[in-house]
Structure 1
């Protein structure tokens, strides 16, 4: 049972149209003035499930033992409801003191004056030695730090070794996107069409992004301008259409029938390009018959390019209107950097970004595999892209939906490109 002091409640929230965000004034305490005798109560919000809630409950108990003058009251929701609640709170100027934060919303909330500038707390309240500079830079918007990454992940390719052994095909040995398409076709053919080599990679904006990065471009620049034109997007989707037409990938209709289980999770595809922290979910879907996963680097667009990057699985941010910024920063530091956080959370929030927390985390075989994978791609890791533009999440979803329609054959590449650029231009216009 949760204590009253650390009540963690799951609340279902439904909201209508998104509420406009209203900026709030910053807190009053300068860095370095935490009074150990002042009784402080902080609110903490995170998304997750009962398992993560128990972990936060344990971490908060350890924090309150170390800082007995600070009480932390926390709430959790599922991911969509979490952001619906935050929008409502933002409109009313009453965001929680400390929030688990998603990268896609960092620019929107920071540029609306809703998040605390963390720079005054870096190096004193929030330890920076355990956090590499490229990790610290992840939370920077417009030259100011608004979030501290709790954990990282990278784009990779999961494979199913058991399934590959059953069909008699070796692991993908690396190579170009054409090599990957040929390997998927080999798997599909070897299985007699009972399973497929993978799914349509052109439906994921991240695959387009790493191709652009390999070419020296980006999805969006720091100024929010697209790093591609209609012709480049059409080329990407046309490549995907060729792979679909070859029969190498699982049909869109079959994926629709499986939803919400993925083709990979249903053991109907031998590979999946995705973030490396999705492995535990796949193992859960696959069940006991498939006890292990392969994890290899995505196909190469340009040899030697730094097309991959570390992305925060999540960050912790502080409300700009907190009454206790020093105490809130102390809590953020504990949740990110403390050995206790590493011991308690392990890799539940992703591979710990802090070297201190990572050293204390007990890595299960999959987590160690992810750590080894991220070490293996060091030569391909470049700087993280600029913090996503406001509305990036909407564009990412539109890209996915258009990819789905392309898979069903209900839209042409030309029309899909036109629709995406129309949506993108509206989003960019709203940001100007």
Structure 2
């Protein structure tokens, strides 16, 4: 196996490292290719072992097709991925091809870490991609990342546990109060050994959906904060109420969230439900979780679901890559080749190539089929994704989780914590 070992630490220093990277990285002046000679590409991404296995199979197909190109790969879980990426970039060792997150595109593009597609032979056919998804990788009118898949937010729950507790399952129009009632029943039935829901307070992604349900947004079109300290306080009060009542996971369990499926309380069976993305449903998800789950839209107290169709993840070429042409060939193959699409399936969300999506969707089974059917059903209610967040948004996301931990462990009252977070968020965006 070509992948490196997973990295275990969190990436609290990622923004600082990226700031260093900005002085170390500049757009290269390479010749755009190797004229057919042997080339070695480095490709790195985040995900679990299930996604890695499928990715390796697709790369084997690529190497068989392009015999002059070899691909060295590595992967890790989400948090550790960006920590290592920032370190590699700061040291001048950026991979040629890197998986990119919607929230970090502008951050890395503005610091000249990413190459603009269409330059120096870095061309990928995106004619079968939805324009709304391409917007997620566009900064200043230039395309720096192309989507690898489409996904949306989900609520995942254990139907057997909910039925045993007499908890009402999610249904169209269910509310946050409905979630609280059902989660409370699960916790009470298990004497709090299994909590009804994972504490959603520390995750900015779920806060964004909650905001959108109220007609607000994380960021305005000009990159300003789109909410108030009062909004943060109200959201954290909702989460805090469920945790204190025992309906949501306790602080020492929630604090272990690191973006990995393995460490998720639902997988650990210390919680019966939680929030996520449908792209997380890979062929072995039920096996990893140890039981079959169901998914539904988020609860909402308004007619607005708050969810949107977003690039589940994107893929970019490093500005310093000496082989942009070959890097683009790899990306084009992974996204547009029918055989590769069959192998990758929905391991990164619904395929972005519309032809491959239709072909893949008809042959799915297990968790990927559940995800595909869910997204197809909910698609009419989904809104377009907002523009890529402004530079500094990555630091804001981390501050949101870190400051909420002070609330979880009762080190800070919610009003003070909300004000502290807002001050840090403003500083991060101004930096």
> Structure 2 vs 1, CA of residues 224 and 258 (structure 1 numbering), >3 Å: closer, same or farther?
closer
* Contact 2:167/2:183 (8 A) holds in 1: no
* Contact 1:27/1:324 (8 A) holds in 2: no
Q: Are positions 1:103 and 2:97 aligned together?
A: no
The offset of 1:265, in angstroms, is 2.3
* Contact 1:159/1:295 (8 A) holds in 2: yes
**TM-score normalised by the chain length of structure 1:** 0.83
> Structure 2 vs 1, CA of residues 306 and 267 (structure 1 numbering), >3 Å: closer, same or farther?
closer
In 1: Cα distance, 2:192 partner to 2:80 partner:
40
The aligned residue for residue 140 of structure 1 is 138
* Contact 2:149/2:311 (8 A) holds in 1: yes
* Contact 2:105/2:144 (8 A) holds in 1: yes
The offset of 1:301, in angstroms, is 3.6
The one-character-per-residue Cα deviations of 1:264-296 (angstroms, maximum 9, x if unpaired) are 223343321222233457634532xx2x11100
The offset of 1:12, in angstroms, is 7.6
* Contact 1:341/1:357 (8 A) holds in 2: no
> Structure 2 vs 1, CA of residues 347 and 258 (structure 1 numbering), >3 Å: closer, same or farther?
closer
The aligned residue for residue 375 of structure 2 is 374
The one-character-per-residue Cα deviations of 1:38-61 (angstroms, maximum 9, x if unpaired) are 325141321356655554443233
* Contact 2:154/2:276 (8 A) holds in 1: yes
* Contact 1:27/1:320 (8 A) holds in 2: no
In 1: Cα distance, 2:296 partner to 2:70 partner:
41
In 2: Cα distance, 1:196 partner to 1:81 partner:
27
1:55-94 to structure 2, matched below 5 A, reads 55-68=54-67, 70-79=68-77, 82-91=81-90, 93-94=92-93
> Structure 2 vs 1, CA of residues 398 and 112 (structure 1 numbering), >3 Å: closer, same or farther?
closer
**Greater Rg by CA:** 1
The offset of 1:412, in angstroms, is 0.5
1:276-315 to structure 2, matched below 5 A, reads 276-280=278-282, 283-287=286-290, 290=291, 292-303=292-303, 305=304, 307-315=306-314
1:228-307 to structure 2, matched below 5 A, reads 228-253=227-252, 255=254, 261-280=263-282, 283-287=286-290, 290=291, 292-303=292-303, 305=304, 307=306
* Contact 2:167/2:181 (8 A) holds in 1: no
* Contact 1:130/1:355 (8 A) holds in 2: yes
The offset of 1:209, in angstroms, is 0.8
**TM-score normalised by the chain length of structure 2:** 0.83
* Contact 2:63/2:71 (8 A) holds in 1: no
In 2: Cα distance, 1:208 partner to 1:224 partner:
17
The aligned residue for residue 168 of structure 1 is 166
Greater shift after overlay, 309-318 or 320-329? 320-329
The aligned residue for residue 156 of structure 1 is 154
Q: Are positions 1:395 and 2:389 aligned together?
A: no
Q: Runs of 5+ in structure 2 lacking a partner?
A: none
Q: 1:351 is paired with a residue of what secondary structure?
A: coil
The aligned residue for residue 423 of structure 2 is 422
In 2: Cα distance, 1:258 partner to 1:428 partner:
25
Root mean square deviation of aligned Cα:
3.3
> Structure 2 vs 1, CA of residues 233 and 113 (structure 1 numbering), >3 Å: closer, same or farther?
same
Q: 1:347 is paired with a residue of what secondary structure?
A: coil
The aligned residue for residue 329 of structure 2 is 330
> Structure 2 vs 1, CA of residues 53 and 378 (structure 1 numbering), >3 Å: closer, same or farther?
closer
In 2: Cα distance, 1:12 partner to 1:161 partner:
32
In 1: Cα distance, 2:295 partner to 2:206 partner:
16
The offset of 1:332, in angstroms, is 1.1
The offset of 1:299, in angstroms, is 0.9
The aligned residue for residue 339 of structure 1 is 338
Number of residue pairs the alignment of both structures matches: 414
Q: 1:226 is paired with a residue of what secondary structure?
A: coil
* Contact 2:27/2:115 (8 A) holds in 1: no
The offset of 1:325, in angstroms, is 3.0
In 1: Cα distance, 2:203 partner to 2:257 partner:
18
The aligned residue for residue 4 of structure 2 is 10
Q: 1:335 is paired with a residue of what secondary structure?
A: helix
Q: 2:201 is paired with a residue of what secondary structure?
A: helix
